[in-house]
């Protein structure tokens, strides 16, 4: 496995990836599987149908694609899914990609996980140069957790978070703000993250794919309102720094940092520096659009040499902005892809 590693170890930069709107693409999010051990009610349906295994990129192909992006100026790689840590031998991919951290071409290798498998992988991830991990956690109530994830259990996730902290990883908690589901846990979650030393970011629920949830539209909780509620107990100071992404931050009087990702009520496209690769090798240059480039076909057809021009052409065509519409939350035709397909 990974016999092509050396060809990219010294990857020369032939100009950063830039789109028509002068945005540089320096951040790649990679979904390594669409499968998951949970069925979160806002993300996928109970009877989700996953891709046939032959459609998935092999770990070696994932390494080749990621390494090509790194050689073209991508500085940050986030591994996601589905649940990335349920993919067999996924640590092999982290190990392979860590060579780009060693060479200095890559500034950060990180992942987003539901935490269910984190306890057994945290130390190995740290050994691969991972320094931070985003863990999705929408509730601290075990019964609510089981209901929302439909098959998950809270205990192992909390164990995973503790193991990550012990391994020296910084943990950021991502919480989808769900009106009528976890709005009553706002202060509990903030206090818990503050006590444990984790950053916390709230995310507005997005119209991605049919999830079979009874009332995803009714769950939409604008983060402006969440923020107002937070301000009834805390003094909030806006933090200017952004990561080039959709999150905006405030600091509480305690020093704790809280993030807000508001794709629906505020557009963030003008500063977008990221693209997404699915586990089937499709390159999406915008989370909210259907435009895609089939890099698996390029890799398996014309071969490695054809990848760079294909990637450059896709980036040039990156749409100016996304196309989400809150009114379409109820409609499965809004954005038909699921979040586990594109990678959140
Ligand atoms: N399974 C991993 C996890 O849950 O962290 C990684 C993949 S998951 C698709 C990435 C993120 O997308 C999670 O934080 C999840 O809460 C978020 N997500 C999934 N569906 C969403 C939706 N419809 N709206 C907003 N966020 C969503
Ligand atoms: Fe799985 Fe993450 Fe989607 Fe939940 S949000 S079903 S953990 S991919």
pLDDT in tens, 213-241: 556 778 999 999 999 999 999 999 999 87
Strand 108-113 relative to strand 132-136: parallel, antiparallel, unpaired? Answer: parallel
Give domain status of residue 104, yes or no.
yes
- For residue 333, being part of any structural domain is answered with yes
* Residue 12 covered by a domain: no
- Quick one: average pLDDT of 285-305? 92
Q: Reply yes or no on whether the pLDDT at 333 is more than 50.
A: no
pTM of the model: 0.91
Question: Distance, CA 304 to ligand 1 centroid (Å)?
Answer: 31
Average pLDDT of the segment spanning 95-112:
98
Q: What is the pLDDT of residue 85?
A: 98
Residue 276: inside a domain, yes or no?
yes
Would you place residue 208 in the very low, low, confident or very high pLDDT band (cuts 50, 70, 90)?
low
Query: Do residues 21 and 27 lie in contact, with contact meaning Cβ atoms separated by under 8 Å?
Result: no
Those residues whose C-beta lies under 8 Å from the C-beta of residue 88, and which sit 6 or more positions away, are none
- Give the pLDDT band of residue 336 (cuts 50, 70, 90): low
Going from the Cα of 100 to the center of ligand 1, the distance in angstroms, rounded, reads: 27
* pLDDT tens for each residue of 122-158: 999 999 999 999 999 999 999 999 999 999 999 999 9
In a domain, 49, yes or no: yes
Counting the structural domains of the chain, the total is 1
* Torsion on CA atoms 204, 205, 208, 212, rounded to nearest 10: 180
Say if ligand 2 is within 6 A of residue 314 CB: no
| Choice among 74-88, 170-184, 189-203, 267-281 with the minimum mean pLDDT | 267-281
pLDDT higher for 339 or 292?
A: 292
Radius of gyration, alpha carbons of the chain: 19
- Higher confidence at residue 164 or residue 23? 164
Q: Which pLDDT belongs to residue 290?
A: 80
Q: Which residues face 250 on adjacent strands? A: 238, 258
- Residue to substitute in 32, 34, 44 for testing ligand 2 pocket (most ligand atoms within 8 angstroms of CB): 44
d(CA 169, ligand 2 centre) in Å: 21
Residue 7 in any domain: the answer is no
Torsion of CA 38, 143, 263, 109, to 10 degrees: -50
Q: Which domain range does residue 102 map to?
A: 27-342
pLDDT given for residue 5 in this prediction = 47
Of the listed ligands, the closest to the CA of 174 is: 1
Reported as a single tens digit per residue, the pLDDT across 228-276 is 999 999 999 999 877 667 789 999 999 999 999 986 655 667 878 899 9
| 3 state SS of 5 | helix
Expressed in angstroms and rounded, the spacing between residue 43 Cα and the centre of ligand 1 is 6
Q: Lowest-pLDDT range, 156-170, 251-265, 318-332?
A: 318-332
Residue 9 has pLDDT above 50, yes or no: no
pLDDT tens across 44-63, in order? 999 999 999 999 999 999 99
Euclidean distance between the first and the last CA atom of the chain, given in angstroms as a whole number:
27
Answer yes or no: are the C-beta atoms of 48 and 81 closer than 8 Å: no
Ligand 1 within 6 A of 43 CB? yes
Statement: residue 15 has pLDDT above 80: no
Residue 8 inside a domain? The answer is: no
Q: Is the CB of 340 under 6 A from ligand 2?
A: yes
> Do the domain assignments include residue 206?
yes
CATH number at 187 reads: 3.20.20.70
Give residue 109's region: left, alpha or beta (phi > 0; psi -120 to 50).
Answer: beta
Tokens, residue 238? 């806006």
């Amino acid at each position: 496995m990974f016999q092509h590693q050396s060809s990219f170890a010294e990857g020369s930069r032939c100009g950063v990836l830039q789109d028509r709107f002068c945005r540089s693409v320096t951040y790649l999010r990679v979904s390594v599987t669409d499968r998951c051990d949970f069925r979160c009610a806002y993300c996928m349906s109970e009877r989700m149908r996953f891709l046939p295994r032959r459609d998935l990129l092999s770990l070696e192909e994932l390494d080749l694609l990621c390494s090509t992006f790194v050689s073209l100026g991508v500085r940050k790689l986030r591994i996601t899914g589905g649940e990335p840590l349920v993919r067999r031998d996924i640590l092999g991919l982290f190990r392979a990609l860590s060579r780009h951290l060693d060479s200095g071409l890559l500034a950060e290798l990180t992942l987003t996980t539901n935490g269910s498998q984190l306890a057994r992988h945290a130390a190995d991830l740290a050994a691969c140069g991972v320094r931070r991990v985003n863990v999705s956690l929408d509730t601290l109530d075990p019964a609510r957790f089981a209901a929302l994830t439909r098959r998950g259990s809270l205990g192992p996730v909390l164990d995973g978070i503790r193991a990550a902290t012990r391994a020296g990883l910084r943990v950021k908690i991502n919480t989808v703000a769900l009106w009528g589901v976890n709005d009553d846990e706002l202060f509990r979650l903030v206090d818990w993250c503050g006590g444990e030393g984790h950053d916390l970011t709230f995310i507005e629920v997005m119209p991605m794919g049919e999830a079979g949830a009874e009332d995803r539209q009714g769950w939409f909780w604008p983060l402006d309102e969440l923020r107002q509620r937070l301000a009834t107990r805390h003094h909030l100071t806006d933090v200017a720094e952004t990561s080039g992404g959709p999150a905006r931050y405030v600091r509480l009087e305690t020093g704790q940092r809280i993030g807000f990702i508001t794709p629906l009520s505020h557009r963030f496209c003008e500063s977008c520096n990221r693209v997404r690769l699915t586990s089937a090798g499709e390159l999406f240059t915008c989370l909210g659009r259907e435009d895609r480039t089939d890099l698996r076909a390029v890799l398996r057809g014309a071969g490695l040499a054809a990848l760079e021009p294909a990637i450059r052409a896709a980036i040039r065509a990156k749409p100016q902005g996304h196309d989400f519409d809150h009114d379409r939350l109820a409609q499965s035709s809004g954005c038909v892809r699921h979040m586990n397909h594109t990678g959140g």
